Each structure stands twice: as C-alpha cells, then as structure tokens.
Amino acid sequence: MTERERFIKALKREPIEGHCPTFEMMFFLTLEALGRIHPFQKSLDRWDQMTQKERRLHIEYDAETYIMTAEKYQHSAIFIEFGFKQMSEYDKILRLLETVREKTGDRYFLMLEGDPTFAMPDGENMMSFTERMYEDETGLKKEAEERLARRLEIAEVLSKRGLVDGFMMASDYCFNVNPFFSPAMFETFIAPYLSRAICAYRDMGFYSIKHTDGNVMPILDQIVDCQPDALHSLDPQAGVSLSEVKRLYGDRVALCGNVNCGLLQTGTEEEVVSDVRRSLREGMNGFGYIFCTSNCVYTGMPLERYELMHRIWREEGSY
C-alpha cells in the first residue's frame, strides 16, 4: 500500500495496519533538516526575467525539497503551500505539481490550498470587514460567491489534469478564546460557501481537509455539517481536546493534529514526550487519525523537538 493509499484510508476512517499516517501542513526547517532552502524562503523576484531553463531548475529544486521532506519524515502527504493569489502564479504552481507527480507518481497524497471562505481578517482590515458583515450583507455574500466560483474554476482545471488528490482548506476562523465569527455570522457568511466548495470538490473526486487554528468548538458542529473529510490542527493551546472531538464527531470526520506546538517550542522534553503519546493514544483510537502538529513545523521551532516527536511516532505510532 502506498503512503497515498494509507492517507486516503485514514481520511475515510477505515482500518489500516502499520504506522498511523503522518504529514505536516508546512515544514519550514528544510535548511537544517535537508540543507535545502524552503520554497517560501526563496526570493523569486526576478522570475519574469529568468530563462525557461532557470525557471525549470527552480521548480525542480522546490519539488525535490517537498519530496525529500516527505521521504525523510515518512510523510504520507505533501501539501504545496502556494495559493493562487494571482493567476500569474497559476502556471508556476501547475508545473510544480506536475514535477512532484512526475518524480513520485502516486506515492504521496498531493494537496493544494483550496479554501474559498473568508478567514478572520488581520488587524488592519478587521474593522472594515466587521462593518461589512453588519452593514453590507449582500455585498459580502456576493464577494463570497465570487471567491467560490474562482476556486471551483481552478479545481476544474486541476481535476482534468489529475494533479492533486485534495485540498487543504486553510482559512483560519478562530482565536484561542473563541472563533472570530459568532455561530450566526458563520452560518451566514462562511458555512454555505464552505459546504458548497467541499461538495463540488467531492464531485470532482477531491478530498477536503478543513484547517483552522484556535478554539473551533463553538462552530465545529457547523463545520462538520459541511462534510469535510478531515479536520486539521485541533489546537490544544486553544483548549481543543482531541478525545472530545473524537467522541463528538469521530464517526463523521477524520482528525489531524493536536500535538501541542507550544510545548514543542518551550516545553520540557518530558512534556513533549507525554503530549505526543497522548495525541497518538487519543487519535489512533478507532482509526481516522493523521498524526501531526497542531499547526505546522514553523521557522523558529527547534528541529530536534520535531525529530523527538517523529521518533516517538516511529517507535509507538503503529496500529
């Protein structure tokens, strides 16, 4: 069974043997781990000036970095973090996906960002976005429709080319204390579009993993009702309990994450070990679990802490 097939089985909450699948939404420590610059740390300001050959070399390099990360840490999935913010990036990302596929075939579950829904706005835009929710419901809904249409158009192209297996839906909705959106706001401005995106993706043969940091509990019912294949991050720093989410929704959705990033950064080694064991114990119970951090392996996280987490998974994370 390939890593991709194991990942899909976990998404379907089907029994598997051997290791619980693992991946990371982002793994930025490639320089230290592999001696390679992460694609996000490279500046490609002169992309338009480059020869075709140089562009191809950059794409090859990035593809290899993703693949080497997955190989080194036995990840079952590769998430290409680039988003289609501008259509000029479209060709570059397609070529990156093609290159990863060419080099790995169907070995890995390949994902792209695909969330059309509004994330909670940054500090600068929070007031204007809030005013629109209160005072321009029609306009905001129109924008939500347009965002959805754009994403589905891209998904159609990807579907025809068979390049990805699914989408990471990465719009963040929550603070540590609570969601930014009240349940009523979520019902009006987010859930309808999230639901339609997931449904359309499924019709095209794609899987969907819904990510959000923070305390998702007040809106989790609505998110699960949108029928993603999996929920990602399950942030323990925001009080999200893996065992509780499993109890409430484990029969409807697969779960990913919950290894406490805060502890990986600042906890003692004993705390990390204990937290990793807890995540494995709670998550693997009853299948449908993908082992990973509660956010990502970000710049500044000590690599040895991720490797400690990974070692425990290797030694103890088997069904």
The single residue among 41, 88, 176, 318 that binds other proteins, judged by CB under 8 A, is: 176
Least distance CB 273 / other proteins (angstroms): 18
Nearest CA-CA partner of 272 in 309, 298, 302: 309
88 binds other proteins (CB under 8 A): no
The single residue among 118, 180, 201, 306 that binds other proteins, judged by CB under 8 A, is: 180
| Alpha helices (runs of H) in the chain, residue ranges in sequence order | 3-11, 30-34, 52-72, 90-104, 126-135, 137-161, 183-185, 191-203, 217-225, 242-249, 261-266, 269-284, 303-316
**Residue entry with tokens 């070399």:** 57
| Strands of the sheet with 77-80, listed across from one edge | 77-80, 109-113, 166-169, 207-211, 230-233, 254-257, 289-290
Q: Which residue number, 48 or 124, has a Cβ lying nearer to other proteins? A: 124
Q: Which residue number, 265 or 318, has a Cβ lying nearer to other proteins? A: 265
Site string for other proteins, 212-231 (x = CB under 8 A): --x---x-------------
C-alpha 158/C-alpha 169 separation (Å) is 16
41 binds other proteins (CB under 8 A): no
Q: Which residues contact 250 (CB under 8 A, 6 or more apart)?
A: 13, 286, 288
Instruction: Scan residues 256-295 and list those touching other proteins (CB under 8 A).
Output: 261-262, 265-266
Q: Which stretch binds other proteins (CB under 8 A): 16-24, 79-87, 120-128, 251-259?
A: 120-128
- Count of residues near other proteins by CB under 8 A: 31
134 binds other proteins (CB under 8 A): yes
Contacts with other proteins by CB under 8 A lie at: 120, 122-124, 126-127, 130-131, 133-134, 175-182, 185, 214, 218, 237-238, 261-262, 265-266, 298-301
